Amino acid sequence: AQKITQTQPGMFVQEKEAVTLDCTYDTSDQSYGLFWYKQPSSGEMIFLIYQGSYDEQNATEGRYSLNFQKARKSANLVISASQLGDSAMYFCAMKGSTLGRLYFGRGTQLTVWP
């Protein structure tokens, strides 16, 4: 079974600073994918970034990067130069090699203050 753990219920960061949101996972699959989604207060789920278990480079998408440490089974999201619009709930998710379902963590509520 797959399991995702996000230990930070809430995080605060000042505008223009960088912030790291933690995510650890557990799986027996050799091949898997890790995802981060953003859920603003309006409720939609927005895909941010993907990391494959065999990818040697850490994924980056604009101000988002994924700090992937396979041996430690962690996939932390780094947001650089935070903006007020980054305030939202952030979910880490994992997909195994066979089934299509995503397993989600409980999320981290990020608040960016001026």
Partner 1 sequence: DAGVIQSPRHEVTEMGQEVTLRCKPISGHNSLFWYRQTMMRGLELLIYFNNNVPIDDSGMPEDRFSAKMPNASFSTLKIQPSEPRDSAVYFCASSLGQGQDKNIQYFGAGTRLSVL
Residue ranges binding partner 1 (CB under 8 A): 31-33, 35, 37, 43-47, 50, 52-53, 91, 95-102, 104-107
For residues 21 and 95, which CB has a smaller minimum distance to partner 1 in the complex? 95
For residues 79 and 93, which CB has a smaller minimum distance to partner 1 in the complex? 93
Q: How far is the CB of 68 from partner 1 (least distance, A)?
A: 13
Tell me the three state secondary structure of residue 85: helix
Q: How far is the CB of 26 from partner 1 (least distance, A)?
A: 16
Q: How far is the CB of 55 from partner 1 (least distance, A)?
A: 10
Tell me how many helices (H) and strands (E) the chain has. Answer: 0, 12
Instruction: Report how far apart, in Å, the C-alpha atoms of 26 and of each of 4, 22, 108 are.
Output: 7, 14, 18
For residues 57 and 98, which CB has a smaller minimum distance to partner 1 in the complex? 98
Token couple for 49 = 């970034």
For residues 16 and 101, which CB has a smaller minimum distance to partner 1 in the complex? 101
Tell me the three state secondary structure of residue 84: helix
Between CA 5 and CA 106 the distance in angstroms is 7
